[in-house]
Chains A and B, each alone.
Chain A
C-alpha cells in the first residue's frame, strides 16, 4: 500500500508530476486537534509537506500567577494544566515543595497518593485510547473507555467531591481522607475494568483496519525521541526503556512489582502510532497491578493531616522534581527566596515537549495520518499552553 505513495512521491520529486502547495489552516476549532491547537499545514495534495503549530490559545500565565500565590494556593492551578491527570499534577507539585521543605509524609498518605495517581493514569489513558480510536474513525471504543473512566471519577468524587480538578494532594498530605469503603470501591473497579481492556483489544487494537491505519505511521526513532526530549508513552513506544517511577523512584513506587511497557514494533515499525497506543493499553494493566499491591499493604488507619505544615516558608534554594505523568515527565523547577510565595515556578510539561516532534514525524504522510499521529501523541492543550 505504501508503494503507491512512494510512486507518487517519486513523481513529485522528479518533477514529472506538476503540483502546487496549499496552505490549510487546521484548528483552533477543529474536531481532532484535541482542544485549541492550531496547525498551519502546508500540503501537497493530501501529503503533508510542513506543519507550523501555533499555540497559546489557552495560555493562562500559570507560572507567573504562581509567583503571586502562597505555596498551597498553587495546587489548584496545577490541576488545570493537564486536566486529565490532575492527581498526578498535584502529586508532582506536592513532592517538589515537600523536598524543598524536607517533609516526610505519613505512610498512609503515600499509599493513597500512589493509588490515586495510578487510578488517574488509567483514567487518562482511557481518554487517550478512546480519542485515538475516534481520530481514526472508530467511535464505539471511545464510549466504552469513557464508561469505565466514569467509575474512576466516581471514586474520586466520593473521596474529594470533585470529578475533574481535585485539589486533592496537598503539600504534606491530602485534602481529605479517603471515604469509607474506598478499598472495596477500588478493588471493584479493577475487577470491572479488566474485561474492558480485552473488549477494546478485540474491537479496536487488533482490528485489521486499525492496524493498517496506525502501523508504520508517524515512526519516531528512539534517537529522535531522545533528542527532542519526548517522554512517557511517546518515548517508550519508540523502544526506550525509561520510566521515572522505576528509574528515578519517588513516593513509594520502589515497593511494587510491575513492568515498564515498551513498544516492540509488533504490528509495524518500532515507534509507530500503534506502538505508542499499545504502550498505553499495556500501562493500564500495570497500573492495576500497582493498585492491587498497594491495596494489599494499605495502612488501615493514620492521620493524613499530621505532616501538613501550618506555615510554608521553604528555605532559600531551588529544586527540580519530576514525576511520571500519564503523558510523560512532568517537571517542576521551583526557586524559593525564603518567602511564602515561590520566587519562580517553571513547569516542564510533557505534552508541550512531545508535541514539538510532530513536524518531524508527520512530513510526507497524508492528512489522515497526521490526525492519527496527533492522536497518538496525546496532548492536553491545558498543559501545552499552561
Chain B
C-alpha cells in the first residue's frame, strides 16, 4: 500500500501523511455507519422504525447528527479547569486513533507493522483512562467526577483479564505481531484460533515456523472460553452495556461527559465508537482469522489480481469487526446494567482467576504438545 502511494505521489511527506490518515478516513466512515446501525438496530429491536425523515429510510441521519453537533455552542463551564477540560476529548480520540495504527486491515495495509503490536495496543488504549479522568476532574461536576472515577476503576480492572487473554494467544502463536497472528490462522475457518488454531505448520512473516497439527483441536474449548472472556472485557473497557456504569444515564446523567457539548462531546462519542471497533477488530484478529477469508480462497487469486485480494481481505476484516460491533449493539439493547460492585466482582473474582487458569493450562499444553 505504501509503495502504491509512493508510485503516485513520490517518496515525500505527503505520501506519509496520506498513509497515516487512511485509518482516519475509515474511522469517520465507520462512525457514520455505526451511528446509523445503533439507531436502526435499536429501533428494529424495539418495534420502532427509527429515523425515517432524513433521506430514504433515514440513512443520512448520522450526517444530520454530526451537523447538529458542529453547530452546537461549545460550552466550557465557568469553574472548569479549562486546559484539561479542552484537552481531554482530543486525548481520548487520539488514543483510539493511535490504536488503529497497528490494526492490519489487510496483508498489504497496516499502519505500523510493529513486532510489539499487541503490547502497543494495550498501552495506547490505556491512555483513554487518563483522558476520562481528566474530563471528569476538570469538569468540576460531582456527576462527572463519579462517572470518571467509576470509569477509571472499571477500565483499569478490566485491562488485567484483557491482557491475560492476549498473553494466552501470544503464548500459543509465539509472536506479538498482529500480522503474524493473522498469518498463523490462514486457510479455511477451522484454522482460526477460536477453533483451536492452525491445523498444519505455517510459516510466519518473521520467518519462524509454527508447528501445528490436528491435535490443536484440544485447544478449541479453551480458546472459545478465552474469546468470551476477551469480548466481555472488551465490552467493559469500551463502557458498553451491561458495563456502561461510568455513563449510567439513570444514575449519573451521562457520567464524565455530562458537561461536554458540541464537537467536544462528539470527540468522546467518536472515541467510544472507535474503541468499539478496535475491540471488535482485535477480537476478529485474535480469534476469527483477522483478514483471512473464512473459505481460505480469494476471488482475486482466481482472477490473478493481487489488488483484489487485498480489497477482499480488507472487506473480511471490516465485516468481522462490524459483526462484533453489531453484537455490542445487540447486547446493549437487550441487557440491563450491572451495579458497580457486581462489575468489580465479575472482573476480580470471575474473569481474572479464569483467565489465569486458562493461561496456565494453555501454557502447559503448548509446552507438552
Contacts and interface: CB of A to CB of B under 8 A. Distances in A.
Contact of B250 (A46, A136, A212): A136
A210 interface: yes
Interface in A181-240: 203-204, 207, 209-210, 212-213
A316 to B, nearest CB: 50
Contact of B336 (A30, A46, A143, A210): A210
Interface of A: 1, 4-5, 22, 24, 30-32, 46, 133-140, 143-144, 147, 203-204, 207, 209-210, 212-213, 366-369, 371, 375
A140 B46 contact: yes
A368 B334 contact: no
B317 to A, nearest CB: 30
A30 B258 CA distance: 12
Contacts of A24: 142-143, 146
B251 A4 contact: no
Contacts of A139: 42, 46, 333
Contacts of A371: 250-251
A1 B342 CA distance: 6
B344 A4 contact: yes
B11 interface: no
15 contacts: A4-B344, A4-B345, A24-B143, A31-B249, A32-B250, A32-B251, A46-B340, A137-B250, A137-B337, A143-B46, A209-B242, A209-B335, A212-B342, A213-B342, A368-B340
Interface string B63-86: 000000000000000000000000
B44 to A, nearest CB: 11
A136 B47 contact: no
Nearest to B48: A143
A212 B48 contact: no
B45 interface: yes
Contact of A366 (B242, B336, B337, B340): B340
A4 B143 CA distance: 24
A331 to B, nearest CB: 31
B208 interface: no
Q: Max chain A CB contacts within 10 Å: which of B42, B252, B333, B340?
A: B252
Contacts, number: 87
A147 B47 contact: yes
Interface string B32-44: 0000000000100
7 shortest interchain CB distances as A-B pairs: A137-B337, A32-B250, A138-B336, A143-B46, A137-B336, A136-B336, A368-B339
A204 B242 CA distance: 13
Given A32-B250, A213-B337, 7 more contacts: A1-B345, A32-B249, A136-B250, A137-B241, A137-B336, A368-B245, A368-B340
A328 B81 CA distance: 49
Contacts of A203: 334
B46 A368 contact: no
Nearest to A211: B336
Contacts of B48: 143
Contacts of B341: 1, 4-5, 366
Given A140-B45, A140-B333, A31 B242 contact: no
Interface of B: 42, 45-48, 142-143, 146, 241-242, 244-245, 248-253, 333-342, 344-345
Nearest to B242: A209
Contact of A213 (B249, B338, B344): B338
Contacts of B241: 137
B253 A138 contact: no
B336 A213 contact: yes
Q: Max chain B CB contacts within 10 Å: which of A31, A137, A371, A375?
A: A137
A137 B345 contact: no
B37 to A, nearest CB: 16
Nearest to A41: B142
Contacts of B335: 137-138, 207, 209
A137 B333 contact: no
Contacts of B337: 136-138, 209, 213, 368
Contacts of A30: 253
B338 A209 contact: yes
B334 to A, nearest CB: 6
B46 A133 contact: no
B154 to A, nearest CB: 13
A137 B248 CA distance: 7
Given A32-B250, A147-B47, A207 B339 contact: no
B14 to A, nearest CB: 46
Contact of A137 (B142, B146, B244, B344): B244
Contacts of B242: 137, 209
A143 B45 CA distance: 10
B339 A144 contact: no
B76 to A, nearest CB: 21
